[in-house]
Amino acid sequence: MTEQNEPATFEETKSKFDSVYFYFVILFNDSINEFSYVEDCLMKLCFKTKKDAKKIAMEAHTNGKAVCFQGSMEECETVAENMTGANLTVVLGV
């Protein structure tokens, strides 16, 4: 731990941020899946309400991509794996 007058190092700062939810799962629009299927997956796999799922699906449809989940690295990896398993296109972001 650093003394009060000494600035924190990059490593100390990075480890503090790693413990906070700075990871994302980004959903990409596709021409394969129906809108309702994407909404259902968002509710089931990303724990979204119907209203939030509809908003995220519309954002992905309109802008080409949307953040669909935010959490720890492990949570995001699990969600991304499940979304990929449901034939949706996603990537992890920081």
Q: pLDDT per position in the chain (94 positions), as tens?
A: 444 555 545 455 455 555 567 899 999 999 999 999 999 999 999 999 999 999 999 999 999 999 999 999 999 999 999 999 999 999 999 8
Q: How far apart are CA 57 and CA 73, in angstroms?
A: 22
pLDDT at residue 10, as a whole number? 47
Q: Is the pTM of this model over 0.75?
A: yes
pLDDT at residue 11, as a whole number? 54
pLDDT at residue 94, as a whole number? 87
pLDDT at residue 2, as a whole number? 44
pLDDT at residue 14, as a whole number? 53
Query: DSSP code of 9?
Result: P
Query: DSSP code of 88?
Result: -
All structural domains of the chain with their residue ranges: 33-93
pLDDT at residue 12, as a whole number? 54
Give 22: exposed, middle or buried? Use CB within 10 Å, 0-12, 13-18, 19+: middle
Residues forming beta bridges with residue 25, ordered by sequence position: 69, 92
Please count the other Cβ atoms lying within 10 Å of the Cβ belonging to residue 2. 9
